[in-house]
Structures are given as structure tokens and as C-alpha cells.
């Protein structure tokens, strides 16, 4: 599912499952973590750009594989693959740019927001889909509120509504809005600006940024950790209904 290519110091990491709008399977997330680890160790790469093939960046977790397994089989969500620690607890702290288009929703929104920069095509639609599935959204609230303030976080997290690239930019959630079809071009230009500077000190800034984010996300996990959302009828009914469509 994941392509990896280095050009002029930039590692292009592409989600490549376009027939499913790059929805993350467990194996796909394992591949993505491997690509992040490869970037971290790759002496030829100074920065990474994460993008998606086809019509969208990603529609998040594959419902039938990841969430249906939690609803029907009682799988502990904490045992499922995730890229969070690969980003927050790496060794070399190379910056990441998310170049998104189409849809960046659910898990994929979190994937993008873990990056230092988010460049979004003007047609991009974002959504915290977990709200409608009955999955706790404390980590999304913490991440979005950190960037935008509580008002915007309340709006998009508690309603679960779609929001546009322009809304996200005005709120301070993303870095730049690009013309449709030019998100990867703009992300590459931004990456070249970043790698023009001495990297050692810059990576210390990245490390600090991620340590602050890690603390916020850990606190959100602790506070919401006792809620057995995977056992609720609301979650099970929502996921089974979605999977049956």
C-alpha cells in the first residue's frame, strides 16, 4: 500500500490503495510505520512528504477490517497498528509534510495532523468520523484545540461535520491551501524551503513540537481511557450499519 522514493533529499511517501480511497488496513499501517522508520534512518532524506494516490488522501481506517473487528470480535483497539509512536518517538525527528486532497477523514485526519505541515488542495474535505461511530474523540479534540483553540475544536469534533480546507486554514489547523491538483507541488516547494537550513537545530524544534503533542495526546488517552466504548451498543450498531452499505 505504501510507496517510498527519495528525490533531492525529500522522501515521498505515498498511500497507494486508490481503489479503496487509500483506506488504512492493518497491513497498510504496518507498511506506513515501516516507511516512517525508513525515513528516520535514511541518510539521503531530510524531510518526508506524505500523500495519497488517486481521488483522495485517505478515508481513514478500513471499516471492514479494523473497526468491524472491534465491534464483532472484541479486538482491543490498542493492539491495532498505528503510526503515532513512530512519529512521536523516533530518533532523528525529520519534519513531515502532509499533502492532502479529496478526503482526509477519520484516522487519516490524525495522520495528517501528526505532520509538522499540512498542505491541502482547495477541494479537500476533513472530518472526525469517529464522532458518528461512537468512538471517543478526546485525542482529536486535544490536537485540534492545541492548534485552533477550543471553539473550532468543539465545532468540528462534537458535531462530526465535514469542514473545508479554507475553514481549516482560517482556524490555524493547516499550513496552506493549494489550488486543486497542485497540493504535492506546493508541498515540495515548502519542503525545499525547510531543507535549505541547517538540519540539526531544526530537528530539535521538531522534537520539542512532538513532545508537547505527545503529552497532550497522552493526557487525553488517560482521561478517556476508562470508557469502554468498544462495548457500547451505539458503537457496534454504527459500525455494522456502515459496513453493510
* Grid cell digits, residue 243: 459496513
* Grid cell digits, residue 214: 505527545
Mean pLDDT of all residues belonging to the chain:
93
3-state secondary structure 80-99: CCCCHHHHHCCCCCCCEEEE
| Among the listed residues 216, 232, 199, 193, the one whose alpha carbon sits nearest the alpha carbon of residue 49 | 193
pTM: 0.94
* Distance (Å, whole) CA 243 – CA 56: 20
Got the DSSP string for 71-82?
Answer: HHH---GGGS--
- With bands split at pLDDT 50, 70 and 90, how would you rate the model's confidence at 152? very high
Kindly tell me the burial class for residue 42, based on how many C-beta atoms sit within 10 Å of its own C-beta (0-12, 13-18, 19 or more): middle
Quick check: 39 and 94 in contact, CB under 8 A?
A: yes
- With bands split at pLDDT 50, 70 and 90, how would you rate the model's confidence at 230? confident
- In order of their start, the domains of the chain are 2-243 (3.90.226.10)
Query: Which phi and psi angles does 117 have, rounded to 5°?
Result: -125, 145
Strand 117-121 versus strand 176-178 pairing type: parallel
- With bands split at pLDDT 50, 70 and 90, how would you rate the model's confidence at 223? confident
Residues 165-193 pLDDT 10s: 999 999 999 999 999 999 999 999 999 99
Query: Which phi and psi angles does 54 have, rounded to 5°?
Result: 85, -140
Amino acid at each position: 500500500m505504501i510507496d517510498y522514493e527519495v528525490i533531492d533529499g525529500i522522501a515521498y511517501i505515498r498511500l497507494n490503495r486508490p481503489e479503496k480511497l487509500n483506506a488504512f488496513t492493518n497491513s497498510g499501517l504496518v507498511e506506513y510505520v515501516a516507511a516512517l522508520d525508513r525515513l528516520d534512518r535514511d541518510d539521503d532524506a531530510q524531510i518526508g512528504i506524505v500523500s495519497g494516490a488517486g481521488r483522495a488522501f485517505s478515508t481513514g481506517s478500513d471499516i471492514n477490517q479494523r473497526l468491524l473487528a472491534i465491534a464483532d470480535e472484541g479486538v482491543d483497539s490498542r493492539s491495532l497498528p498505528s503510526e503515532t509512536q513512530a512519529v512521536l518517538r523516533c530518533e532523528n525527528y525529520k519534519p513531515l509534510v502532509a499533502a492532502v486532497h479529496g478526503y482526509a477523514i477519520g484516522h487519516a485526519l490524525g495522520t495528517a495532523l501528526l505532520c509538522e505541515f499540512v498542505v491541502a488542495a482547495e477541494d479537500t474535505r476533513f472530518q472526525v468520523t469517529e464522532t458518528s461511530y461512537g468512538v471517543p474523540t478526546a485525542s482529536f479534540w486535544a490536537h485540534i484545540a492545541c492548534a485552533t483553540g477550543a471553539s473550532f475544536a468543539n465545532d468540528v469534533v462534537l458535531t462530526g461535520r465535514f469542514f473545508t480546507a479554507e475553514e481549516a486554514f482560517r482556524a490555524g489547523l493547516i499550513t496552506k491551501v493549494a489550488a486543486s491538483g497542485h497540493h504535492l507541488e506546493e508541498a515540495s516547494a515548502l519542503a525545499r524551503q525547510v531543507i535549505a537550513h541547517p538540519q540539526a537545530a531544526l530537528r530539535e524544534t521538531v522534537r520539542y513540537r512532538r513532545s508537547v503533542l505527545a503529552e497532550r495526546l497522552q493526557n487525553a488517552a488517560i482521561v478517556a481511557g476508562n470508557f469502554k466504548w468498544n462495548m457500547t451498543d451505539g458503537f457496534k450498531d454504527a459500525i455494522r450499519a456502515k459496513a453493510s452499505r
